A and B are shown apart, each in its own frame.
Chain A
Amino acid sequence: MSKIINTEEQNKYVVVKTEGYFNKDLGELVISVVEEKVQENKFHFILDLEQSKIVNSIGASILIEVIEILQDKDGTLSLCHMAPIIEKTFSIMGLTKYCNTFATLDEALAQ
């Protein structure tokens, strides 16, 4: 089943690691974590998709909402460990124009 397997703060980033199908359920879990952390004035997020190999359009739409929330706060969303099919989906949805993508978490943290 889809879930968030870890949320932790590293440097200025909140790193959210997901597992499974990135669909509406998982998207909503992510957006609620983001909203919660924004309340705590955390505006820079890294989404680690190593364990999520497939996404649907609803999951991608929710990530667009996440980006909007963070842009209002001058925050950022970075993505790492994207499977090729996810990268292609995000690219088609226009999502990768508004967030940084990295091959690994270390690269994302070092940005």
Chain B
Amino acid sequence: MVSKIISDYNNKYSDLDISCSFHEQKELLKSIGGSKYLLEDRQIPYYEEALTFLKDKFDTNKSLHIENLYFINEINDTINVPIFCNDEIIGIALGRKSKIKPNIINNVGIQLSRFITKKFFTKKIKSIESRANIKDLEFESIVQLTNMLSFCDNLSNETLEYILIHLVSLYAASKGMFILRDSNTNIFEVRATFEIREEDMPRRMLTDNKGLLAELKNTKKTFLVESDKFNLVKFVEHNSICSPIYFRGNLLGCIILADKESRKGFIHFSDLDANLFDSLTKEISLTINNLKLIDDLQSTNNLIDNIMTSIEAGIIKFTEFGEIEYVNKKAIEIIGIERDLIQNQHYGIIFADNELFLEVISNYELAESDNQAQVVKNVPFKSFNGSIHTLDTTITPVYDKNKDRSGYILSFDDISDMQKVKTTFKKYVSGNIVDEILDDNSKSDLGGTLSDACVLFADIRGFTSFSEKTSASELVSILNKYFTEMIDIVYEYNGTLDKIIGDELMVLFGVPNNTEHDCQNAVDCAITMFKRLDEFNEKLEKSHNHKLKIGIGIHYGEVVAGNIGSDKQMNYTVIGDNVNQAARFCSNASPNEIVISEDVYKNISDQSLFSESILINVKGKDNAIPVRKFTHFSI
């Protein structure tokens, strides 16, 4: 373009021999962007003279290059004007003094100055723009890397390679290496590389006792390393930058970037590079530490989960705000919906349909009872799949490291099966005995203890003649109905059904659990039996034209109570003279009559219901025994 400007003038004004020269080709190239406008033809005559002239003119030792040499023949016959670029003279325009007018050569100078200045600024702007783009790229890479790190959820080799590649690209490095310490062996391992040849890989075991890793451990800083300083960086051809990854003073690894590129070749990493790299590796350290902590936490969670899964009780951990934070496998089974639907929900929502279960939790929450575990048994629970459970619950507070309550744990045992067993068991054995045995295993051992007990016998009078007139199936049906009514009364008064002997009931009060009211309960039970029998008889009379009548004997005294039989089959019962005596009283009792001993009489409140003491003879006793009688008057 410079040539064109000059040749245009030379064509317009013939024989002007306008020419120009520049201080340095490099200067011009820099200014106008790498053009090949300049001529440097040493074959042209007077070339040397022209150079000498121009050097004198500008008082410079800089090399000069000449665009045109038309003027050279008469070198002293020249007129010149400076060529400016950004207010600096960078060259000169020349013309033949004898032929050119000053204003023309001035115009040439101005035009060339404008052109070159414009080119200079265009190039400069382009260069600034390019540098800005590179900074933009660096910024974008940092953002991308930071984003990637924040979403990073594992420490796989692929992840580390991804981080390394980003860093290599960001720093226009040629090679890179990512080293991390194995948490089990404490040996450092190369986990990712970029453009490093196999033969340049470290052969020795890497520790932080010596070499580059030791230096990183001690300094904890990013630094620039020359290629020959450490064995570990022998892959570096020019120089490298190394940055430690550490946590709480412990070196976890390092990242090495090597051989920074530029358009002109390899260049050194700058201090700015080191500072930025240091910040980035700190970010990476943080991510790695977070991931390690997450791994540890996950391992701990897995351990807890395994333990919790192996526990046969349901476990629910609530936050202080009543949200369900953790629920174990057994609890999920009992509740009957998936874990995801339970976790993070408020218990009030999940257990809305289980009023009593809800009460257990909310009462505890409201009570704010510190340190106290609260046990609530036999809590009914309806699961989401419709199954019904009976739960024994225990709720305990949980404290954080500051000893502030951070929530509570509810554990519950599903005792539904136990309840079924109990219910079935109680059909065969008195409920009191079932509870006693289930609460204390030793109670199922053979053997007995001396206890005070009130023993009641109730026998149907005239049953043999009735049975002769009634079919067996009808008889069983009537007896079952009779016993159902009577046994219900026994339970109402906390009696223990010992056995049914034909048409006779044997009932105990005071064993296995004694109370102050055992005698009173036995008497009340007997009186109620008569009343209930009246009702029963009303129906029986209608159906079979018959009424059952019973006689009852009750005695209170010391008995041997316990399991009698063998390991394979045993009965809880009482034995002893006092038992026999109660049976004798029953035999002595007329229909609708209760015969009680003086020992019973002494222990009841409404004594007026009984007769004065009378003496009766009973089988097996030499002397008459004082008893009192109650007579029931049927409706």
**Contact A92 B130, beta carbon cutoff 8 Å:** no
**Contact A54 B137, beta carbon cutoff 8 Å:** no
Chain B residues, Cβ within 8 Å of A89: 137, 140, 169
What is the chain B residue whose CB lies nearest that of A53?
B165
Q: Is the C-beta of A62 less than 8 angstroms from some C-beta in chain B? A: yes
What is the chain A residue whose CB lies nearest that of B174?
A23
Chain B residues, Cβ within 8 Å of A25: 174
**Contact B263 A58, beta carbon cutoff 8 Å:** yes
Q: Is the C-beta of A37 less than 8 angstroms from some C-beta in chain B? A: no
**Contact B137 A93, beta carbon cutoff 8 Å:** yes
Partner of B195, one of A21, A55, A88: A21
**B147-182 interface with A by 8 A CB criterion:** 165, 168-174
**Contact A23 B261, beta carbon cutoff 8 Å:** yes
Whole-angstrom distance between the Cβ of B204 and the nearest chain A Cβ: 25
Partner of B261, one of A53, A58, A92, A93: A58
What CA separation (Å) do A24 and B169 show in the bound complex?
A: 11
Whole-angstrom distance between the Cβ of A64 and the nearest chain B Cβ: 7
Q: Is the C-beta of A110 less than 8 angstroms from some C-beta in chain B? A: no
What CA separation (Å) do A108 and B518 show in the bound complex?
A: 103
Q: Is the C-beta of A32 less than 8 angstroms from some C-beta in chain B? A: no
A58-70 vs B, CB cutoff 8 Å, 1 = contact: the mask equals 1011101000000
**Contact B263 A54, beta carbon cutoff 8 Å:** no
**B112-159 interface with A by 8 A CB criterion:** 129-130, 133-134, 136-138, 140, 144
What CA separation (Å) do A25 and B265 show in the bound complex?
A: 9
**B449-500 interface with A by 8 A CB criterion:** none
What CA separation (Å) do A58 and B266 show in the bound complex?
A: 11
Name the interface size band of chain B. Answer: 20 to 34
**A53-98 interface with B by 8 A CB criterion:** 53-58, 60-62, 64, 85, 88-89, 92-94
Q: Is the C-beta of B219 less than 8 angstroms from some C-beta in chain A? A: no
**Contact B169 A54, beta carbon cutoff 8 Å:** yes
Given A23-B174, A89-B137, CB of A94 within 8 Å of CB of B129: yes
**Contact A54 B172, beta carbon cutoff 8 Å:** no
What CA separation (Å) do A63 and B133 show in the bound complex?
A: 14
Chain A residues, Cβ within 8 Å of B129: 94
Q: Is the C-beta of A1 less than 8 angstroms from some C-beta in chain B? A: yes
Chain A residues, Cβ within 8 Å of B168: 21, 54, 56
**Contact B130 A58, beta carbon cutoff 8 Å:** no
**Contact A58 B140, beta carbon cutoff 8 Å:** no
A2-32 vs B, CB cutoff 8 Å, 1 = contact: the mask equals 1000000000000000001101110000000
Chain B residues, Cβ within 8 Å of A20: 195
Q: Is the C-beta of B262 less than 8 angstroms from some C-beta in chain A? A: yes
Given A23-B172, A89-B137, A92-B137, CB of A56 within 8 Å of CB of B130: no
What CA separation (Å) do A85 and B262 show in the bound complex?
A: 20
What CA separation (Å) do A37 and B194 show in the bound complex?
A: 32
What CA separation (Å) do A25 and B174 show in the bound complex?
A: 9
Whole-angstrom distance between the Cβ of B571 and the nearest chain A Cβ: 84
B190-221 vs A, CB cutoff 8 Å, 1 = contact: the mask equals 00001100000000000000000000000000
What is the chain A residue whose CB lies nearest that of B265?
A24
**Contact A94 B133, beta carbon cutoff 8 Å:** yes
Partner of B263, one of A1, A21, A55, A61: A61
B23-59 vs A, CB cutoff 8 Å, 1 = contact: the mask equals 0000000000000000000000000000000000000
What CA separation (Å) do A85 and B166 show in the bound complex?
A: 9
**B222-274 interface with A by 8 A CB criterion:** 261-263, 265
Given A64-B130, A93-B133, CB of A57 within 8 Å of CB of B172: yes
What CA separation (Å) do A88 and B134 show in the bound complex?
A: 12
Partner of A92, one of B140, B173, B194, B265: B140
Partner of B172, one of A56, A64, A88, A92: A56
Partner of A24, one of B130, B170, B262: B262
B592-608 vs A, CB cutoff 8 Å, 1 = contact: the mask equals 00000000000000000
Partner of B133, one of A21, A62, A85, A92: A92
What CA separation (Å) do A23 and B140 show in the bound complex?
A: 18
What CA separation (Å) do A45 and B165 show in the bound complex?
A: 28
Whole-angstrom distance between the Cβ of B200 and the nearest chain A Cβ: 12
What CA separation (Å) do A62 and B264 show in the bound complex?
A: 11
Chain B residues, Cβ within 8 Å of A55: 169
Given A21-B195, A24-B261, CB of A54 within 8 Å of CB of B134: no
Chain A residues, Cβ within 8 Å of B137: 57, 60, 89, 92-93
Whole-angstrom distance between the Cβ of B1 and the nearest chain A Cβ: 13
Given A23-B172, A24-B262, A24-B263, CB of A57 within 8 Å of CB of B195: no
Whole-angstrom distance between the Cβ of A72 and the nearest chain B Cβ: 11
What CA separation (Å) do A94 and B173 show in the bound complex?
A: 21
Chain B residues, Cβ within 8 Å of A85: 144, 169
What CA separation (Å) do A93 and B144 show in the bound complex?
A: 16
Chain A residues, Cβ within 8 Å of B133: 57, 92-94
What CA separation (Å) do A55 and B262 show in the bound complex?
A: 13
Chain A residues, Cβ within 8 Å of B136: 92
What CA separation (Å) do A56 and B165 show in the bound complex?
A: 10
**Contact B261 A88, beta carbon cutoff 8 Å:** no
What CA separation (Å) do A53 and B158 show in the bound complex?
A: 14
13 A–B contacts, CB within 8 A, in A order: A1-B195, A21-B174, A23-B261, A25-B174, A54-B165, A56-B168, A56-B172, A56-B173, A58-B172, A61-B130, A85-B144, A93-B134, A93-B137
Which 8 pairs show the lowest CB-CB distances between chains A and B?
Answer: A56-B172, A24-B261, A57-B134, A58-B261, A93-B133, A92-B137, A56-B169, A92-B136
Q: Which B residues have a C-beta under 8 Å from some C-beta of A?
A: 129-130, 133-134, 136-138, 140, 144, 165, 168-174, 194-195, 261-263, 265
Q: A62-B263, A92-B140 are in contact. List 8 more A-B contacts (CB 8 A).
A: A24-B261, A24-B262, A25-B174, A56-B172, A61-B130, A64-B130, A92-B137, A93-B137
Q: Which A residues have a C-beta under 8 Å from some C-beta of B?
A: 1-2, 20-21, 23-25, 53-58, 60-62, 64, 85, 88-89, 92-94
